[in-house]
């Protein structure tokens, strides 16, 4: 169980993160992506085809036509400004959160990533 003191500090960190440009921009770009109906349709198509492809792959079947369809949908998504902007903002947020994690790891002399590599 997390002590009240640590919980209070974690909540303060979360609040500080919510005030960062990276977080605010991520929310803005996420909203823009949600409003892009064409991108949402492509994402739905991609997810459906991806499920179908994985299902076939689990049965030992590689459907090249389906793979081609996935590649084409991915190419269309990669051309949409809302998708590009969202992914860019997502990556910046993830990088910032990674840096925060590294700072914490260094300060407490515990490498979180090392635990998962063992």
Q: What is the CATH number of the domain that holds 29?
A: 1.20.1500.10
Whether the per-residue pLDDT at 114 is higher than 90: the answer is no
Gyration radius of the chain's alpha carbons: 20
Please state the pTM of the whole predicted model: 0.84
**What gap in Å lies between CA 110 and CA 60, rounded to an integer?**
42
- The pLDDT, as a whole number, for residue 64 is 96
Please say whether the beta carbons of 73 and 49 come within 8 A.
yes
DSSP structural state of residue 19: T
The rounded mean pLDDT for the chain is 95
* Cα distance between the two ends of the chain: 25
Confidence grade of residue 111 (pLDDT, cut at 50, 70, 90): confident
Q: In whole angstroms, how far apart are CA 111 and each of 100, 108, 117?
A: 13, 9, 10
Tokens linked to 8: 């209070």
Please say whether the beta carbons of 33 and 83 come within 8 A.
yes
Whether the per-residue pLDDT at 35 is higher than 80: the answer is yes
Q: How many structural domains comprise the chain?
A: 1
Q: Which domain holds residue 78?
A: 4-117
Residue 42, helix vs strand vs coil: helix
Average pLDDT over residues 82-108: 97
């Amino acid at each position: 169980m997390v002590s009240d003191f640590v919980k209070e500090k974690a909540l303060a960190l979360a609040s500080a993160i919510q005030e960062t440009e990276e977080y605010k921009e991520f929310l803005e770009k996420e909203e823009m992506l949600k409003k892009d109906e064409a991108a949402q349709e492509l994402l739905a198509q991609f997810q459906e085809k991806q499920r179908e492809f994985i299902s076939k792959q689990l049965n030992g079947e590689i459907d090249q036509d389906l793979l081609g369809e996935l590649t084409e949908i991915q190419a269309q998504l990669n051309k949409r400004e809302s998708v590009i902007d969202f992914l860019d903002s997502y990556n910046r947020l993830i990088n910032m959160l990674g840096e925060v994690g590294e700072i914490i790891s260094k300060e407490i002399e515990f490498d979180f990533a090392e635990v998962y590599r063992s």
